[in-house]
Amino acid sequence: MPELPEVETVRCNLAATLRELRVTSVCFRRRDILRPDPRTGSDAIDLAIRKTCGSRVRDIDRLGKNLILKMNGAWGWIVHLGMSGTLVHGCAPPEDVHAHVAWWLEDGSTLVFRDPRRFGGWTLAEYAPIREVLRDRVGIDALDPALNLARFRDLLSPSITPIKCRLLDQRLVAGLGNIYADEILFAAGIDPRSPSCALDHASWERLFREMHRVLEGAVCRRGTTLSDYRDGWGGMGSYHACLAVYGKEGEDCPRCGNPIHRMSFRGRGTHFCPRCQQFAKGR
């Protein structure tokens, strides 16, 4: 399930090989992959094909879990990989029934979007700046240098909502999903059920520091491949070897040796060590 480190890895791959290539042919096999622009409501497939054919990829950007394919002419595609989406630039012809979008490029290569579970989507952003299209749905990127500790705390703390839910809210800080939220909370020693308003200053410091450490470590290892995820060239990530709690139910906590617990929390599998992760009760 692609989160910030996986999407950033795809972005780096695609930026290295796709930039300045002209699109010669386009196929959107499934109409429901196209999401309407929230500002215009437009999801017309003929417009999508007409705009893309003949355009060049100017650059690849990222905001949270969203990839932004910037095309020449100040417009672009916002691609969300959902749970099982992959966007791979290579030579393989898109024969697969799960290959919903395919671009053919001037050098004979292809860009193929596969998404078996179809939670992903493409949004045609017709106007600059493209990031404006995401403004109401996506907050500041978790690795944005402008996000300092004070701003992080100000965004997440004013609520009794459990801290894990706040970390997963893309409108606040964008990029974290279930795997990294669990890993970051374990690293920071905070119970995921703690009300965010009850965390003390030391907890916010640890949370902010560990968020950076975990995400940057995962980017270095090209993300976590548990099943579907592949990078922009079809390769796998290796951060799963570094996971401390996610998917480790019943295994020994790497810190205290007691078993890792798993519970269903607000509809999400949540992995934690009840001994190492303190429930914040506030003052």
Partner DNA sequence: TTACTCCTGGCC
Partner DNA sequence: GGCCAGGAGTAA
Residues that bind DNA (CB under 7 A): 1, 3, 64-66, 80, 82-84, 98, 116-119, 137, 159-161, 165, 168, 170, 177-179, 227, 264, 266-269
Find all residues with CB under 8 Å of 1, minimum gap 6, and list them: 83, 84, 177, 178, 179, 226, 228, 229
Q: Quick one: tokens of 228?
A: 């579907």
Closest CB 177 distance from DNA, rounded Å: 3
Q: Quick one: tokens of 49?
A: 């094909």
C-alpha radius of gyration, the chain, whole number: 20
Q: Quick one: tokens of 192?
A: 């995921």
Is 268 tagged catalytic?
yes
Nearer to DNA, 104 or 113 (CB): 113
Closest CB 97 distance from DNA, rounded Å: 7
Nearer to DNA, 69 or 168 (CB): 168
- Helix (H) / strand (E) element for 169: namely none
Report yes or no: 172 and 141 within 8 Å, Cβ to Cβ.
no
Which of the residues 11, 51, 62, 65 is marked catalytic? 65
Closest CB 44 distance from DNA, rounded Å: 17
Is 29 tagged catalytic?
no
Residues facing residue 76 across a β-bridge: 70, 125
User: Tokens 């932004």 sit at which residue?
Assistant: 68
Closest CB 31 distance from DNA, rounded Å: 12
In angstroms, the CA 154 to CA 157 distance is 6
- Residue 227 is given by DSSP the state S
Q: Which region holds residue 282: left if phi is over 0, alpha if psi is between -120 and 50, else beta?
A: left
Is 3 tagged catalytic?
yes
How buried is 53 (Cβ within 10 angstroms: 0-12 exposed, 13-18 middle, 19+ buried)? middle
Nearer to DNA, 23 or 134 (CB): 134
Closest CB 179 distance from DNA, rounded Å: 7
Which of the residues 151, 209, 262, 268 is marked catalytic? 268
Which of the residues 2, 5, 94, 192 is marked catalytic? 2
Is 126 tagged catalytic?
no
DSSP per position, 61-94: EEETTEEEEEETTTEEEEEE-TTT-EEEEES---
In angstroms, the CA 146 to CA 179 distance is 24
In angstroms, the CA 43 to CA 112 distance is 20
Nearer to DNA, 72 or 161 (CB): 161
Nearer to DNA, 73 or 282 (CB): 282
Closest CB 182 distance from DNA, rounded Å: 8
Q: Are strands 34-35 and 121-125 parallel, antiparallel or unpaired?
A: parallel
Nearer to DNA, 23 or 33 (CB): 33
Catalytic residues: 2-3, 65, 268
